[in-house]
RNA sequence: GCGCUCGUAGCUCAAUUGGAUAGAGUAACGGACUUCGGAUCCGUAGGUUAUAGGUUCGAACCCUAUCGGGCGCACCA
């Protein structure tokens, strides 16, 4: 809708006009501060310019009124325009708000190590990434969702050790010497039992089989993670394993040329040229590659696959890593501007008002699956999607679990359910409703209609600004308007019943479309 | 110490990215319908936007300094 209006204004005035929401809806549907920015170059007061522009509009198809107020220009849309746009939206169903944006994007997110099930901290990145995925696809982008599996390195060795020790301790009753760092949790004792069934108890004692067991366990755990993700409606297109990349190492090294050098038996890259504190080791003295090496090959592979744009969603604790990867991408001969790294800030937990630290060793990890079981996928997704991802956020554990009717997701779902109830209750048939013209609406009804029709702009804005929380914010506002309208206006039996039901159908459409982009079910009954 | 980042109502978060009177939820208090679903609605109260300067028609947003929190500063991933 906004695009149509903006395009109309561009034709008419010959420059791009920024359209905003007016402070007060009684001013009109849209407003622009354009006169302020023109004031300087025209050397006239904003008021005069605004008046001049406003008076240049006569009767036309889109606006019924164009007024200047204190330098702002306010536009009021015509009923014909709004009704035609609403009818168009209803006939397009859940394609409402979709776009024809061009370009392919590789979106990498979650990428949690396959050493344990997802905990609540992972949920934020998963929900945020998946919401961006859904928004982008709705807008027309060709997006591939990818999970990078760190299946090489120390943590895999540690997994093998932990698995054997866990089995020997809990299944074989041996007293074992736990190392400094190790994994623990219910999933490990389950896996140990499987080891005994599949490989025999001896496998738990044979140190030479640690690697084999670790790799076997890694696949099992990845399957757990995939299940965890599926339980919150998150699905990936591709999984890329770190271990599978190292065959490419020599070729990738050669590609980086003299940006790589040897020093004291180690191989380093000149990442300090890109704002990194110092150059980074990529191959140790003993020939083992570092984590960065894997990421360099991975990003080389990403760019060789030829996407138009790349988005990585990382936890904020990796922010120091951006310079290194940018340096590597550049050394490989690619444009680092194509790689966009979005940081999802830490989720910190409170218990009884005190900071609560999840610890794998102490067994105090709060699993995402436990929270999903407690509050459900819809509530969890709405909660995480509602938070702007670049601010750290705190959750009280008890509050997290207590979230019931106080959770805004139910407020929004209730709005949708109310509309469905009315539609079911009314004796009007769909044809009559659709044929009604949305003319002569009250100010409240007009405001509700306009709000519901804003969805496409919200989707576009939420994706392009990478701020997914704008969608839940919008849905909450739309639901609030609906509830208020419902309270004030009796619909069934109203002389304008057909008209009002059509209006409510538009609201329901926006709610349902918005929900589906959040991976949440729009309920007809609650 | 250096780098990045954040600081908005008691709490959790917004603010159309520099625009009109800084808004929601929640907690507190008070109220509403014998009526389409009370998981609702309305009201009261709550703010020197961490602090001090600066930039301009205009600042929560940009610049500088200070204070405070988070994260990073590995040959771990």
Supply the pLDDT for residue A404: 60
The dihedral formed by the CA atoms of A198, A202, A204 and A208, expressed in degrees to the nearest 10: -110
With distances taken from each CA to the C1' atom of nucleotide B32, the closest residue turns out to be A487
pLDDT digit of tens for each residue in chain A (526 aa)?
Answer: 877 888 888 887 777 777 887 777 777 888 888 888 777 667 777 788 888 888 888 766 788 888 888 788 888 888 899 999 999 999 998 889 898 999 999 999 999 999 999 988 888 889 999 999 999 999 999 999 999 999 988 889 999 999 999 999 999 999 998 888 888 888 999 999 999 999 999 999 999 999 999 999 999 999 999 999 999 999 999 999 999 999 999 999 999 998 999 988 999 999 888 878 889 999 999 988 998 999 999 999 999 999 999 999 988 888 888 888 999 999 999 998 899 988 887 777 766 666 677 766 666 778 888 888 888 899 889 988 888 777 766 677 666 666 566 678 889 999 999 999 999 999 999 999 999 999 988 888 988 999 999 999 899 889 988 888 899 999 999 999 999 999 999 999 999 999 999 999 999 999 999 999 999 999 998 8
Supply the pLDDT for residue A300: 95
Cβ neighbourhood burial of A493 (10 Å; 0-12, 13-18, 19+)? exposed
Query: Is the backbone of residue A110 left (phi > 0), alpha (psi -120 to 50) or beta?
Result: left
Supply the pLDDT for residue A323: 85
As for the ipTM of the complex, it is 0.91
A310 in Cβ contact with A143 (< 8 Å): no
With distances taken from each CA to the C1' atom of nucleotide B24, the closest residue turns out to be A477
Which two tokens mark A260?
């790589």
Query: Is the backbone of residue A287 left (phi > 0), alpha (psi -120 to 50) or beta?
Result: left
- B24 C1' to A450 CA distance, Å: 20
* Distance separating alpha carbons of residues A3 and A68, to the nearest angstrom: 21
Which two tokens mark A277?
């504190």
Strand B nucleotides, any atom under 7 Å to a protein CB: 3-7, 11-17, 19-21, 24-27, 35-37, 39-42, 57-58, 69-77
> Buried b vs exposed e over A7-22: b needs ≥16 C-beta within 10 Å?
ebbeeeeeeebebeeb
As a 3-state breakdown, chain A gives helix, strand, coil percent values, each rounded to 5, of: 55, 15, 30
pTM of the entire predicted model: 0.93
Nucleotide nearest the Cα atom of A282 (by C1'): B75
Query: Which secondary-structure segment (H or E) carries A32?
Result: strand A30-32
For residue A24, the SS3 value is coil
* Distance separating alpha carbons of residues A229 and A368, to the nearest angstrom: 9
Supply the pLDDT for residue A415: 94
The DSSP-derived string for A51-65 is HHHHHT--S-SSEEE
Residue A211: how many CA atoms within 13 Å on its side-chain side? Answer: 5
* Distance separating alpha carbons of residues A315 and A429, to the nearest angstrom: 51
* Distance separating alpha carbons of residues A507 and A511, to the nearest angstrom: 6
For residue A347, the SS3 value is strand
Supply the pLDDT for residue A514: 95
- B58 C1' to A36 CA distance, Å: 9
Supply the pLDDT for residue A403: 55
A302 in Cβ contact with A238 (< 8 Å): no
């Amino acid at each position: 809708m906004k695009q149509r209006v903006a395009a109309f204004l561009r034709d008419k005035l010959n420059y791009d006009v920024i359209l905003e929401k007016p402070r007060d809806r009684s001013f009109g549907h849209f407003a622009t501060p354009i006169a302020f920015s023109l004031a300087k170059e025209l050397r006239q007061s904003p008021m005069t310019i605004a008046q001049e522009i406003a008076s240049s509009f006569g009767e036309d198809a889109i606006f019924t009124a164009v007024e200047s107020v204190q330098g702002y220009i306010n536009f009021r849309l015509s009923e014909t325009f709004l009704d035609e746009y609403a009818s168009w939206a209803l006939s397009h169903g859940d394609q409402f708000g979709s776009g024809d944006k061009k370009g392919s994007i590789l979106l990498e997110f979650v990428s949690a190590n396959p050493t344990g099930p997802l905990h609540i901290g992972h949920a934020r990145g998963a929900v945020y990434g998946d919401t961006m995925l859904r928004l982008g696809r709705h807008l027309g982008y060709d997006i591939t969702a990818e999970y990078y599996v760190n299946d090489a390195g120390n943590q895999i060795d540690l997994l093998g050790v932990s698995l054997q020790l866990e089995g020997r301790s809990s299944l074989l009753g041996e007293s074992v010497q736990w190392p400094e760092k190790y994994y623990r949790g219910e999933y490990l004792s389950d896996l140990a039992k499987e080891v005994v069934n599949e490989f025999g108890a001896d496998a738990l004692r044979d140190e030479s089989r640690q690697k084999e067991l670790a790799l076997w366990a890694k696949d099992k755990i990845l399957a757990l993670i995939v299940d965890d993700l599926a339980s919150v409606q998150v699905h990936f297109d591709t999984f890329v394993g770190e271990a599978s990349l190292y065959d490419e190492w020599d070729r990738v090294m050669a590609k980086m040329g003299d940006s790589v050098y040897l020093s004291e038996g180690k191989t380093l890259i000149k990442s300090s040229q890109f704002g990194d504190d110092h150059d980074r080791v990529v191959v140790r003295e003993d020939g083992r590659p570092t984590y960065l090496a894997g990421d360099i090959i991975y990003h080389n592979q990403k760019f060789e696959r030829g996407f138009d744009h790349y988005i990585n969603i990382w936890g904020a604790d990796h922010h120091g890593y951006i310079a290194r990867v940018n340096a590597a991408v550049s050394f490989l001969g690619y444009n680092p501007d194509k790689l966009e790294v979005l940081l999802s800030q830490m989720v910190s937990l409170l218990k009884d008002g005190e900071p609560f630290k999840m610890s794998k060793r102490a067994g105090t990890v709060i699993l995402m699956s436990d929270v999903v079981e407690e509050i459900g996928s819809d509530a969890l997704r709405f909660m995480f999607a509602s938070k702007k991802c670049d601010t750290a956020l705190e959750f009280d554990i008890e509050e997290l679990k207590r979230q019931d009717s106080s959770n805004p997701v139910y407020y929004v779902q209730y709005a949708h359910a109310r509309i469905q109830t009315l539609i079911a209750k009314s004796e009007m048939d769909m044809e009559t409703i659709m044929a009604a013209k949305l003319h002569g609406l009250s100010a409240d009804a007009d405001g509700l209609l306009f709000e519901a029709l804003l969805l496409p702009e919200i989707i576009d804005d939420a994706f392009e600004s990478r701020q997914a929380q704008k969608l839940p914010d919008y849905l909450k506002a739309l639901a609030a308007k609906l509830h208020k309208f419902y309270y004030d206006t009796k619909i069934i039996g109203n002389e304008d019943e057909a008209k009002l039901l059509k209006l409510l159908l538009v609201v329901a459409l926006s709610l349902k479309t918005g929900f589906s982009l959040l991976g949440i079910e729009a309920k007809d009954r609650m």
